[in-house]
Structure 1
Amino acid sequence: MKQRINLLTKGANAVKALYGVGAYLAGSSIEKSLQHLIYFRVSQMNGCAFCLDMHSKDARAEGETEQRIYMLAGWREATVYTDRERAAFAWAEAVTRLTNGDVPDEVYEQVRQQFSEEEIVDLTIAVTTINSYNRLNVAFRTSAGSYKPGMFAAKAN
């Protein structure tokens, strides 16, 4: 597929607004490793190849195992994730899908047991931000495969 609009050139000013959210999240209490896994899982759900490429490479560069990345689509059955991570994945999926226009109470209770209220807000901001990036990249057919680990880190800080 041919890329429609290059977000790094034609959309650079608009995307800068999202970099500010990334800078905020970099200072949040949500572990960076968990953020990468959330970004990867939501990107799987949304079919965003660019973000899958980016977050798999960044996660690996920061020490994440290939096994945990490869098994993420099956996190419910995999035994390699903590209860905190599982709660975050359930929350991320529910916020991304908004089935029946709602996030189920049982998912909220699960995340509430593992995260403070401030962390739940930060987790939700992380989920909505990656959803925004996914939608931009999918809509404009951003090319995947050439991302280098940390390539956008300076822009987000």
Structure 2
Amino acid sequence: MEQRLDFYKANPAAIKAVLGLEERIGKSGLEKPLVELVRLRASQINGCAYCIDLHTTDARKGGENDRRLATLSAWRETPFFTDRERAALAWTEALTLVAQDHVPDAAWEAVRPHFSDAELVDLTLLIATINSWNRFAISFRKTPA
């Protein structure tokens, strides 16, 4: 597979806007391991090879263990994730697959007890942002190095 275009070079102003979202996410109170799990799970759903590679590497660098990374796509069937992480992963799946179920009430009811209002906005921004990155990488065929 060959890269279609380098979106960083093609429109630096557009990428700067997305990087501004990343800056906000970095200043949020969300735990770094949780952030990487969310990024990785959305990227798995979207089938973004570049982002899966990147966020698996980043998660490992942040101390994430291989067992949790290996079972992330089956998080519901494992005991390896906290209730807060499970709620965030369910929210991630609901927002990433928004066209399927339009974020059902069950997803909201699952996430609400585990996050403050501000954290829910930050979590939603995180999910929207990684979905944006996935769409850039997939559409322009960015592949892992």
TM-score (norm 1): 0.89
After superposition, residues 2-21 of structure 1 pair within 5 angstroms as: 2-21=2-21
Counterparts of 2:18 and 2:8, CA distance in 1: 13
Counterparts of 1:49 and 1:42, CA distance in 2: 11
Deviation at 1:13, TM superposition (A): 2.6
Tell me the C-alpha RMSD between the 2 structures. Answer: 1.1
2:98 is equivalent to residue 103 of structure 1: no
Counterparts of 1:11 and 1:58, CA distance in 2: 25
Counterparts of 1:48 and 1:11, CA distance in 2: 21
Q: Which amino acid aligns with 2:120?
A: I
CA deviations over 1:120-151 (Å, ceiling 9, x no partner) = 1110000000000000100000021x2xxxxx
More helix by share: 2
Counterparts of 1:101 and 1:67, CA distance in 2: 30
Tell whether the 8 Å contact from 2:21 to 2:129 is kept in structure 1 after alignment: yes
**2:40 corresponds to:** 40
Q: Which amino acid aligns with 2:15?
A: V
Q: Which amino acid aligns with 2:80?
A: V
**Any idea what SS the aligned residue of 1:75 has?**
helix
Q: Which amino acid aligns with 1:73?
A: S
CA deviations over 1:38-64 (Å, ceiling 9, x no partner) = 000000000001101110111101101
**1:149 corresponds to:** none
Q: Gapped runs of 5+ residues in structure 1? A: 147-157
Tell whether the 8 Å contact from 2:94 to 2:101 is kept in structure 1 after alignment: no
**1:115 corresponds to:** 115
Counterparts of 1:125 and 1:100, CA distance in 2: 20
**Any idea what SS the aligned residue of 1:4 has?**
coil
Counterparts of 2:118 and 2:99, CA distance in 1: 24
**2:129 corresponds to:** 129
